Amino acid sequence: GYAVRYSGYLEHQSEPFCTDGYSRSPGLMKLGKDITLAGLEIGLLTMKKGEAARFVFLPSYAYGKMGCPPLIPPNAMVIFEVELLNFLDTAECDAFFELTPEQQDTFPLQKVLKVADTERECGNYLYRSQRFESAKSRYKRALSILGRSPTSAAEQRQINASKLLVFLNLSVTYLKLERPERALAYGEKALEIDERNAKALFRCGQAYLCMTEYKKAQDFLVRAQCVEPFNHDINEELKKLA
């Protein structure tokens, strides 16, 4: 998926006919689905994360002989200014989720973990963009493939490490969605894997605080503080509670 800012101009015009240049955190778009202009598809493949570019497209790489009335006249040459903010290679994930559950079960664990990690990264981008519902969906999709039975203790540790990160992500996302009961449930799931995880203890404390269960909130926040005594966020939350 590509996160881009862009503006499209006709030749000799200073005002764009289309733009996403004012969005602070654009969503992730896919080539051939969300990005269909031939020139842009080719151009983006040449770019690196953080790069800005200016492309001039002949009509055959833009809107063709017919144009796109009333905005784009026939045989128009167009100019696109593009900034590639982020790129996440989700092709492998998309292909994986198109398989049946039986086919997914035949994949090596390392590939499954990689797919889950990429889904979580997509969720993290959406979370940072304050698209919390979309982030939650990505995290849930990552979690959906981490339920396979391990064949060894080492595999169990790897699965648990991936699950732990997703549980923590879901917990904080549900806090943002103002659903503290769900945030608490995922915080507790994280603690089942790592009972001294400061983030999980902190999320549970925040959830109880939102639910106005102050004694339980204090218990969890104090436990989090014991693990990380100099954590600014934990200490601030305890001050708020006091």
* Domain boundaries of the chain, sorted by first residue: 2-87, 90-240
Domain 2-87 architecture: Roll (3.10)
Query: Is 90-240 in the same CATH topology as 2-87?
Result: no
Contact present, 6 and 21 (Cβ < 8 Å): yes
Distance CA 79, CA 77 (A): 7
Q: What pLDDT score was predicted for residue 22?
A: 65
pLDDT 10s digits, 6-65: 999 998 898 999 988 666 667 778 777 788 899 999 999 999 989 999 999 999 999 999
Q: What is the pLDDT of residue 28?
A: 76
Sheet with 18-19, strands from edge to edge, namely 18-19, 2-10, 78-87, 52-57
Q: In which band, very low, low, confident or very high, does the pLDDT at 119 lie, cut at 50, 70 and 90?
A: very high
And the tokens for 116?
Answer: 């889950």
Topology given in CATH for the domain delimited by 90-240? 1.25.40
- What token pair was written down for 168? 């923590």
pLDDT digits (tens, 9 = 90+) for 122-160: 999 899 889 999 999 999 999 999 998 898 999 999 999
Mean pLDDT along residues 189-195: 98
- Under the banding of pLDDT at 50, 70 and 90, the label for residue 80 is very high
Structure token pair of residue 144: 């959906």
Cβ-based neighbour number of residue 10 at 10 Å: 17
Residue 185 has pLDDT above 70, yes or no: yes
Whether the per-residue pLDDT at 188 is higher than 90: the answer is yes
Q: What is the mean pLDDT of residues 92-121?
A: 91
Please state, in angstroms and rounded to a whole number, the distance separating the CA atoms of residues 48 and 185: 39
Q: How many helices (H) and strands (E) does the chain have?
A: 10, 4
Which residue bears the tokens 């959830």? 207
Position 21 scores a pLDDT of 65
